[in-house]
Structure formats: C-alpha cells, structure tokens
Structure 1
C-alpha cells in the first residue's frame, strides 16, 4: 500500500508545512528576550569574558557574506543552498565543509522597519531590542533581492537538531555555531518560542542557557577586567614608545 504524502510525514512536519502557507507567521526573537547589557559586547563562553568584537584569543571566527544582488548568491564559502530536509520548508542551507564551534555568520540583512504587523506577515523578520528588551527595529529579509543567504536557514523541528543560535551585536543579527558542524549537515537556528508555537513545534528548553547568560550579564566583571587589561596594554605600549624615542634621541 502506497502512503499518501500527508501520512508519510509526522504532525510536526505537517504543521510546519501549513505554517509556510499562512499569512501570519510571527516575528523571530533572540534569546534571552530581556537584555541586561548593551549589545556592543560579545561574550566568549570559552574565556568567560566580554569583548568589543571577536575573542582576541581566537576562540571565535567569522565567515563573511559574499556580495551579490540576490540572497542565493551571497552564501559564504563552504555552504550550499538546496532543498531542506524538512518537508514543506522550501530551501535550506547545508555545509560543504566542517565549521568549528563559535563560528559567526552574517550579519542578517534585509529591510529595516518598525511595523510589528509587517514583521508578523513576513515570517523573515528578526527583532532588534534595546537594553531593556523593548523592540525598536525589525530586520526583514522577506525580499531576496534585499537580503542574504541567512534567510534560508530554517527553524529545526526539535532542539537536538539546533546547531546555530542568533546573536544581536551592534544592532545587527548574526548566527553563531553552537558546536562543531560536520560537512553535509543542514543548518538550523531557533526562531524563538512565539514563532515555534505558531509552527506547531514544542518550545525549546533553554532555561539553563538563559540563566547562565543573564547571570553573566548581571555580573559584567569580565568587561571591567577586559577594559583594565586594554588600558594596561596601552600604557605599557606607550612607555615602550617613549623609551625607544629617548634611546633614539640619545
């Protein structure tokens, strides 16, 4: 007996497929929802320190987007856009090589606007929040001619499939690898609890992660220590320069 297409996929996949046909998708939200620190800093989970960019010790790496006039052609090296493994999800992004944990992709590009209604209808809009957690902007990638390849990264059906997380930095959205990713894997990023509910998926349990992040946000000693280290390095460098000048003059 030949199974029909509907009976060959599970309930989660079917709801995901129906959601793609919906006119009201919902907005994508970055974890944690309430920001305690400015997004001018990135947190390194290896060093347990904040930096004003990628970790200077090399714990984090960045893969830049390619410039092109269509989202499909902006894909970073080592990635390919193909049909997603999720039925009804359309296209997805797959790795052609290995990517290490803490690799950053992005930024996520698109039209900037402040309409919650448009964001919900789009389905491609990430929220940009201020330090208090209030939404002040949306990055909407619904138009492939005005966005990039990150728009094709799908939301996973289950938490075990999640291999990327969305990070807000300097008013932009980046995707960071949560673990080492092998060649041939499809990339998945969680869109947030509200979006998952609309897709008919169970909300992911990130309570431990949120607790750790928020706790580290509330005790930003690493930022202070990082700034202190930078000042010390600048002072030391200045002293060396003065010494060199004196030796040269003498």
Structure 2
C-alpha cells in the first residue's frame, strides 16, 4: 500500500535563532519571549509601562518587489514615487530588526500598536497606555492596516 502523506514541518522560533544585532537593538522597555499570539513565533513583550503615542522604529528589511517576497508575515508594502510599490521584507532575521517580531493582534481589544508610514518608512506607535505591574509583561501587537 502506497500512502502519500504531507506533513508540514513547523519551525518554532527560539531566542537562540535571534541574531545578536537584534538583541542589542531592543529598547530597555521590551524583551523577546515566546508569543501568546502564535506559538511557533517569538513576540515582543513590554516589560515596563509604555505611554500612549510612543513611537518605535523604523522597521528594517530588504527592499524587494512584491513578486520576490515569499511570505507577507514579516513585511510591509511602501510606495516609492520612482520605483512603485516595494516591500520592506524582514523575513530573514539577519536583515531585519526587533520590530519583525511584533505579531498581529487577534482582536481590536488586544491591539496596542499601529503601523505608521513616515517618508516611506514604517514605524509603530502605541495606541494606548500599556500599564504593567511588577513581574508582569504584555505582548505588543499590531493591526494589518497602514
């Protein structure tokens, strides 16, 4: 009996996979831990309270045409007048920064960041105060609209 099975290999990100430049670039009020949103990924967690309106960025990655991007998980599209629509792709952790680890919110209530485009560069801005108590942490999450 010949049986075809397709088992998808699930890769789980660990802190050992994070390039050193990403860890060095983390602001003092956030850390990387396993994500509550996606169990296969790391997430960015606030370890100190964050004020509403705080800006993080810029989001860093390779500039590519959409046809060159294999996954939209770690990228943003930005319009360049001379080039048209281009993607800032941080799929390769070596090419991105810590902002690539911010995951999508599962609901509007959970969302605490908003992507913001300034001069063809993506930043994240906190939508509300993230209040933490001692030994508490909250995962930062974004919505999908610029």
TM-score range, shorter chain: 0.7 to 0.9
Alignment of 1:169-184 (within 5 A): 169-183=118-132, 184=137
Number of residue pairs aligned between Structure 1 and Structure 2:
126
Q: Per the alignment, do residues 174 and 87 of structure 1 end up closer, same or farther by CA in structure 2, a change over 3 Å counting? A: closer
From 127, 152, 163, the equivalent of 2:112 is: 163
Q: Which residue of 2 aligns with 1:72?
A: 23
Please give the alpha-carbon distance, in whole angstroms, between the structure 1 residues aligned to 2:34 and 2:21: 17
Deviation (angstroms), 1:171: 1.2
Contact 2:114-2:127 at 8 Å conserved across structures = yes
Q: Secondary structure at the match of 2:24?
A: helix
Q: Which residue of 1 aligns with 2:71?
A: 121
Q: Which structure has the greater CA radius of gyration? A: 1
Please give the alpha-carbon distance, in whole angstroms, between the structure 1 residues aligned to 2:113 and 2:38: 20
Please give the alpha-carbon distance, in whole angstroms, between the structure 1 residues aligned to 2:54 and 2:123: 10
Deviation (angstroms), 1:135: 5.2
Residue 143 of structure 2 corresponds to residue 190 of structure 1: yes
Deviation (angstroms), 1:158: 1.1
Q: Which residue of 1 aligns with 2:62?
A: 111
- What is the CA RMSD across the aligned residues, in angstroms? 2.6
Please give the alpha-carbon distance, in whole angstroms, between the structure 1 residues aligned to 2:26 and 2:76: 19
Q: Which residue of 2 aligns with 1:100?
A: 51
Deviation (angstroms), 1:96: 1.1
Q: Per the alignment, do residues 102 and 135 of structure 1 end up closer, same or farther by CA in structure 2, a change over 3 Å counting? A: farther
From 91, 99, 111, the equivalent of 1:142 is: 91
Unaligned runs of 5+ in 1: 1-17, 22-67, 193-209, 211-250
Contact 1:73-1:149 at 8 Å conserved across structures = no
Q: Which has the larger helix fraction? A: 1
Deviation (angstroms), 1:72: 3.3
Question: Normalising by structure 1, what TM-score?
Answer: 0.46
Please give the alpha-carbon distance, in whole angstroms, between the structure 2 residues aligned to 1:141 and 1:112: 9
Alignment of 1:188-227 (within 5 A): 188-192=141-145
Please give the alpha-carbon distance, in whole angstroms, between the structure 2 residues aligned to 1:69 and 1:90: 17
Residue 24 of structure 2 corresponds to residue 88 of structure 1: no
